[in-house]
Structure 1
Amino acid sequence: MDRAASAGVEPVPGEPAAVIESEDERALCVADYHAGLEAGLGRQGVELPSQSRERREHLLSLLDTTDADRVVFLGDLAHAIGGARGAERDELTTLFAALDDLVSVTVVKGNHDGEIESLADDAGIEIDVTPPDGIRFGSVGLAHGHTWPSRDVLDCEVICVGHEHPTVRLEDEVGGSRAERAWLRGRLVPEPFCEHYDDELAIDAELVVFPAFNDLSGGTWVNVPGQAFLAPFLPDGIAEGEAYLLDGTRLGSYERV
């Protein structure tokens, strides 16, 4: 992504993460961590070795290199919608312990994070959990994206969401293809939000859709016809949407990649 494109949101080169800043804090922001995903897949008959340690060490290394004061999980820190247990609960407990006394923790509540407060309480860790419709962080609005962002979030200059796990399918000269996680960025279209709130909202914002931090989580193939978006405001809520690879390569319009 163009490093000057989104005021207050600086993607970390080569990573599914960005740094966002307020007047007094620097935060590392990641979306869709999906702790315990392998255990969830195992219950569906898909056996994968746990990558919980690799995920945790990856996150900790990013906190170190970005010198962040806070980590913001942009929704779906947890994976099991019905509540984490077993290996999933152990992964979250270990992650909370690793972050304790290192950085402050904010979880922008996603559709998989129903019991995240009680998990943190059980681990004796204090975290901030936002309402599902998000919060402001300086001039940046943060919401998971599974529901409509709040009016306060929509009043921001830049709005960051996750939930979608945007992915592009890239083809080579011989007809082979591969999937790559991607960022989406574009102008926020006011009309769907005005219709939802039945009000003429003064919206002038850029929308940034984060790639999933967990590379096993799959996603919406945004450049494949017939693929449905997950967020209730997409794709109608984004105009001039462009896709970027994690290394910053600009692919142009996500629909024509």
Structure 2
Amino acid sequence: MPPGDLATVEPVVGEPAAVADLGSERALLVADVHAGIEVGLRYERGIELDSRADERRERLCELLAETDADRLVVLGDLAHRIGAPEGDEREELEVLIRAITDRVPMTLVEGNHDAGVADAFAADVDVIGAEGGVLGSDGGVGVLHGHTWPAPDLLDADAVCMGHEHPQVRLEDAVGGSRVERAWLRGEIDPEAFVEGGSDGGPASTDPPELVVFPAFNERSGGTWVNVDGQSFLAPFLPEALPAGDAYLLDGTRLGDFRRV
């Protein structure tokens, strides 16, 4: 994305991750890690896949080093299966969290898959509730997962980052072939649609923050095809809260209004 479009949040080119300047520290942000997804797919659908737990963990650690981040912030759904983690999934989470927290502190914004994770690892991970919160100073960066209505004070942030949607775009070529790629969505928030019942009309509504919808870190977790008719968004405030959002590929290619890609 062009420099300056996201004043405090800069995507890492080629990766489903971004760096945020929080004033006193530099944070690496990712969404929807879905650790243990292979266990979940086996249990839910009878699909057998080789585990990529090591690759996910190693790439997160590499990104921390490459970006010189002081903290990892996961925008929800660190785990895949809903409920208390157990068995192979819990083992993957334990190894992952230990690998991260041996390097930097870790913050988890609680997603719809994370209730059991938040309880099980509360001593190791800073947890922000489902309505989200604001990190940093001088406006700061709002963070939430996106499965519930957000806290109204997120509108006071400079930018708001969320996961949950796993946005993807379906691209077609001239001969009828197609491919699906993970994508970023970003644009100015409509405060009236972002907060349940509408905003209070305060100062934040006259200078709304930018909303940054993160692609899923886990490439196996599927997603919302944002440019295909009939696809429903998952967040209760989307797409209405993003009336003029642009889509970007992981390599930074700007596709324009996601509704017209």
Bin for the TM-score computed over the shorter chain: over 0.9
1:216 aligns with 2:220: yes
Conserved 8 A contact 1:32-1:75: yes
Q: 1:93 to 1:249 in 2, by over 3 A?
A: same
1:228 aligns with 2:226: no
Partner of 1:35: 35
Conserved 8 A contact 1:3-1:11: no
**Once the two structures are superposed, what CA deviation does each residue of 1:9-59 show, in whole Å capped at 9, x if it has no partner?**
010010000001111111100000000011100012111111000000111
Partner of 1:111: 112
Supply the AA of the counterpart residue of 1:112: H
TM-score normalised by length of structure 2: 0.94
Conserved 8 A contact 1:194-1:200: no
Partner of 2:23: 23
Conserved 8 A contact 2:152-2:199: no
CA distance in 2, matches of 1:250, 1:38: 32
TM-score normalised by length of structure 1: 0.95
Q: 1:7 to 1:23 in 2, by over 3 A?
A: same
- Aligned pairs, number: 254
Counting only pairs closer than 5 Å after superposition, residues 106-255 of structure 1 correspond to structure 2 as 106-120=107-121, 126-138=124-136, 139-193=140-194, 196=197, 199-201=200-202, 202-203=204-205, 204-255=208-259
CA distance in 2, matches of 1:100, 1:194: 33
Supply the AA of the counterpart residue of 2:19: V
Q: 1:117 to 1:191 in 2, by over 3 A?
A: closer
Instruction: Give SS of 1:239's match.
Output: coil
Identity between Structure 1 and Structure 2 (%):
58
Runs ≥4 residues deviating over 3 A: none
Supply the AA of the counterpart residue of 1:31: A
Partner of 1:70: 71
CA distance in 2, matches of 1:51, 1:142: 27
CA distance in 2, matches of 1:184, 1:135: 20
- RMSD of the alignment, in Å? 1.3
Counting only pairs closer than 5 Å after superposition, residues 68-107 of structure 1 correspond to structure 2 as 68-107=69-108
**Once the two structures are superposed, what CA deviation does each residue of 1:138-163 show, in whole Å capped at 9, x if it has no partner?**
22100111111112212112111100
CA distance in 1, matches of 2:143, 2:84: 23
CA distance in 1, matches of 2:218, 2:196: 33
CA distance in 1, matches of 2:11, 2:182: 14
Q: 1:108 to 1:172 in 2, by over 3 A?
A: same
How far the C-alpha of 1:198 sits from its partner, in A, is 6.6
CA distance in 2, matches of 1:249, 1:238: 19
CA distance in 1, matches of 2:199, 2:168: 32
* Runs of 5+ consecutive residues of structure 1 not aligned to the other structure: none
Instruction: Give SS of 2:2's match.
Output: coil
Q: 1:195 to 1:131 in 2, by over 3 A?
A: closer
CA distance in 2, matches of 1:193, 1:166: 18
**Once the two structures are superposed, what CA deviation does each residue of 1:90-127 show, in whole Å capped at 9, x if it has no partner?**
11000011122310000011000001233225xxx521
* Runs of 5+ consecutive residues of structure 2 not aligned to the other structure: none
Conserved 8 A contact 2:155-2:191: no
Supply the AA of the counterpart residue of 1:25: E
Further displaced range: 199-208 or 234-243: 199-208
Q: 1:169 to 1:79 in 2, by over 3 A?
A: same
Supply the AA of the counterpart residue of 2:29: C
CA distance in 2, matches of 1:198, 1:182: 28
CA distance in 2, matches of 1:69, 1:195: 33
Instruction: Give SS of 2:246's match.
Output: strand
1:48 aligns with 2:52: no
